[in-house]
Structure 1
Amino acid sequence: MNAVFSGLNCLATSRPGSDCRPPEYRCATDQYVVGGASAIFLVIDSMARASPDSGAAGSVIASGGNRMIARRNDFAVFLVVVFGLSWLFALWPWIGDKKVPSVFVSSAAVWMMLTPTLAVLALWWYRRRSMPELVAETGLMLGSRPRRTVWLIVAAWFGPAAFVWSALGVSVLLGVNEFDFSLGVDWTVLIILEALVGSTLAALPLALGEELGWRGWLQPQLTGRFGIALGLVATGVIWGLWHAPLTLRGYNYPELGAWAAAVFVVTCVFFGLVLGWLRMRSGSVWPCVVAHAALNAHAIGVSAFGSLDEKPNQLLNGHGGAVGWVLLAILAAILFLLFPVRGNGHLEQVGEVGVAGAQRAGGGPGTNLR
């Protein structure tokens, strides 16, 4: 696996501009998270082996399963922590007038992805909630129908590959990008396989760091207060704005400058619709984690096939541009129409059986964070 990563990093380095993110980001990601990927799947396996009662924890499908109805102070604590820490970790790109080395930008991105989980932990400490409640109420179980959740995890693993490559194909057909096959068949297969396996596995821990906050806690609270449609859009907007410390410096859209912040908000809203459906359909955060990790992995891989002769219009091109927005909107419409979520999206309480199951999985009722 190390040889695969080294080969891809060498390839990306030899093709400057083919990836909108600095090559060091991939190196930093590998160093920080590869070792934790196996632990993620041990957690999933242990949840799948839990008693039938434990699957009911956080099983309210429409809201994603929340027992704690947030107060205004809870939203304030969560938002202050998640935005405050994100700007704190991303200070390096803003210090001084000179161009900041990309290693600092990539390191800031890695640490930023942990801040939503840190915000949830701060909130649970503030509310003096127990660890079993944290597990149940943020969707860390497999939901009331574990088999469905497992199948959604499988779909979330392979679905982003189809989306990213389809977006590139449509962009080529529309003339906003060119496809470069100069790498050859061997490298093409290697890149696709590495993205499906190595990069996705490596990205899982950091994707969990984000999704535990966004889809685990925030989305159920917002859909419970404002309904599914407005709640999902609001979650996507907050998620997109949270990236501002980096996107205001052109991160992900280097040709757009500060406008990248606004463009990325739109991308987060559309991708958030699909992630939100996964959360509500499964009652679990794990399909969202896998989909998020897989998208990041394939976004890096597919960038190696863009033409270097002409830079594509980043506002229109690929999965992060208007082409991707349209494809995501179509996908979200299909999912919500053909596989509707139950309920009206308002908060309901998790049954005592579900909490008891979570306690068996995560500890006794006296296990407090504080």
Structure 2
Amino acid sequence: MSKNALSIFVFLLIAFGLSWLLSLPLWLGDGLADPLFAVVALAMMFTPAIAAIIVVFAIERPRDKARVLGLWPLKPAGRFIGYLALGLTVPVALILVALPIGAVLGVYPADFVTFSAFQEMLDAQMASAGASELPIPIAVLVGLQFINVLVGAFINLVPALGEELGWRGWLLPKLMRLGTVPALLLSGVIWGLWHAPLILLGYNYPGAPGWLGLTMMIGMSTVVGAVFGWLRLRSDSVWPAALAHGAFNAAAGFSLVFAAAGESIDTTQATILGWSGWIVPLVLVGVLITTKQFTPAAPKVTVHESVAARTS
């Protein structure tokens, strides 16, 4: 076994092994209703980072470990900031555009006018708090959700980095030697399968059989993971992908904000989790592949480095 293959094997063994170990209390307890669910789900997000760090420090031991993980350098500054901005906005746009597409296809019960499901949820919260009505118009509260997503993206950055340091920071560049499409497909399938301990308990796809939920999660992870991978490779940094992951998680609740009251949402078909939500991301990834946007950005050579190279 080559050193590269050994590194990937050990990485996957640790990342998957830890995720199943951490989720064991849920399987032995009350599943998603277990009081430990939130803690377990959060802890699981750090297992890919732990696996990557162990492999880099114990097996590979490269000279520039931070660069191998995508943590450093944060330059050129213009490119880095530009991809951070894309990481903050593109996932939110993909989540939002999935909703009208799902509505047009008849799989998402939308209410883009009165926001009735959101209104119903807020009314219930107000009633439980002993208040009679909302203090401000529902449309204003909907607008405030965009600010919540912006704040949430940065709050989620640390746990999102726990995943991205492994999946896109370390693993994806390793797989790129297989070619762009195989690397994106393989990394996406791996990322989707890693979610199995929670998906098989009904997370993200309640009501769907376990095999179907996991299949859909693999599909979503492959499509969305390719977008995160583009941010990682073109920026030469894991930070834009981590911010994108944080924004993606923060914006997931938009599917409830724009839904019609009294209707159920089948996430195997609707929202970014379902097949109708993959249409636009697939088109985007196709354009990025066609235009060779997954080619890692060439490092810029400074004047000092250029002179040193000519005189050596």
TM-score range, shorter chain: 0.7 to 0.9
SS in 2 for 1:340: coil
Q: Which amino acid aligns with 1:232?
A: L
Q: CA deviation at 1:313?
A: 2.6
Match of 1:74 in 2: 7
Computing the radius of gyration from Cα coordinates, the structure with the larger value is: 2
Q: Which amino acid aligns with 2:93?
A: A
Larger deviation: 200-209 or 188-197? 188-197
Partner of residue 154 from structure 1, selected from 77, 85, 93: 85
Asked whether the 8 Å contact 2:49–2:162 carries over to 1, the reply is: yes
Match of 1:248 in 2: 200
Match of 2:98 in 1: 167
Q: CA deviation at 1:102?
A: 4.2
Partner of residue 171 from structure 2, selected from 207, 218, 227: 218
RMSD (Å) for aligned C-alpha atoms: 2.6
Match of 1:185 in 2: 139
Inter-partner Cα distance in structure 1 for 2:199 and 2:190: 14
Inter-partner Cα distance in structure 2 for 1:107 and 1:230: 34
Match of 1:294 in 2: 247
Describe the superposition over 1:122-174 as per-residue Cα deviations: whole angstroms up to 9, x where unpaired.
Answer: 112322626x6220111112466431121011011012221111101111122
In structure 2, relative to structure 1, the CA distance for the partners of 1:164 and 1:342 (3 Å cut) is closer
Inter-partner Cα distance in structure 1 for 2:198 and 2:31: 13
Q: CA deviation at 1:235?
A: 0.4
Match of 1:360 in 2: none
Question: How do 1:53-68 and structure 2 match up within 5 A?
Answer: none
In structure 2, relative to structure 1, the CA distance for the partners of 1:275 and 1:135 (3 Å cut) is same
Match of 1:91 in 2: 24
Inter-partner Cα distance in structure 1 for 2:20 and 2:60: 26
Match of 2:132 in 1: none
Inter-partner Cα distance in structure 1 for 2:240 and 2:46: 18
In structure 2, relative to structure 1, the CA distance for the partners of 1:253 and 1:308 (3 Å cut) is farther
Q: Which amino acid aligns with 2:158?
A: P
Describe the superposition over 1:248-298 as per-residue Cα deviations: whole angstroms up to 9, x where unpaired.
Answer: 111111121312111100100011111111112111111111111101100
SS in 1 for 2:36: helix
Match of 1:127 in 2: 59
Asked whether the 8 Å contact 1:192–1:301 carries over to 2, the reply is: no
In structure 2, relative to structure 1, the CA distance for the partners of 1:71 and 1:168 (3 Å cut) is same
Larger deviation: 250-259 or 100-109? 100-109
Inter-partner Cα distance in structure 2 for 1:85 and 1:351: 38
TM-score by length of 2: 0.82
Describe the superposition over 1:294-318 as per-residue Cα deviations: whole angstroms up to 9, x where unpaired.
Answer: 0110002442332341212322101
Q: Which amino acid aligns with 1:152?
A: Y
1:200 paired to 2:200: no
Q: CA deviation at 1:206?
A: 0.6
Inter-partner Cα distance in structure 2 for 1:205 and 1:262: 27
Asked whether the 8 Å contact 1:264–1:320 carries over to 2, the reply is: yes
In structure 2, relative to structure 1, the CA distance for the partners of 1:70 and 1:151 (3 Å cut) is farther
In structure 2, relative to structure 1, the CA distance for the partners of 1:73 and 1:316 (3 Å cut) is same
TM-score by length of 1: 0.69
Describe the superposition over 1:55-85 as per-residue Cα deviations: whole angstroms up to 9, x where unpaired.
Answer: xxxxxxxxxxxxxx95222122111110110
SS in 2 for 1:90: helix
Question: How do 1:1-370 and structure 2 match up within 5 A?
Answer: 70-96=3-29, 98=30, 101-127=33-59, 129=61, 133-142=64-73, 145-180=76-111, 181-182=115-116, 183=119, 184-197=138-151, 199-224=152-177, 226-258=178-210, 259-338=212-291, 340-342=293-295
Greater length-normalized contact order (CA 8 Å, ≥ 6 residues apart): 1
In structure 2, relative to structure 1, the CA distance for the partners of 1:352 and 1:123 (3 Å cut) is farther
* Structure 1: segments with no counterpart, 5+ residues: 1-68, 357-370
Q: Which amino acid aligns with 1:210?
A: E
Asked whether the 8 Å contact 2:191–2:218 carries over to 1, the reply is: yes
SS in 1 for 2:253: helix
Asked whether the 8 Å contact 2:92–2:247 carries over to 1, the reply is: yes
Asked whether the 8 Å contact 1:215–1:288 carries over to 2, the reply is: yes
Larger deviation: 172-181 or 325-334? 172-181
Inter-partner Cα distance in structure 2 for 1:156 and 1:335: 15
Describe the superposition over 1:201-239 as per-residue Cα deviations: whole angstroms up to 9, x where unpaired.
Answer: 111001100000000111111112x11110111000001
* Structure 2: segments with no counterpart, 5+ residues: 120-137, 306-312
Inter-partner Cα distance in structure 2 for 1:325 and 1:235: 17
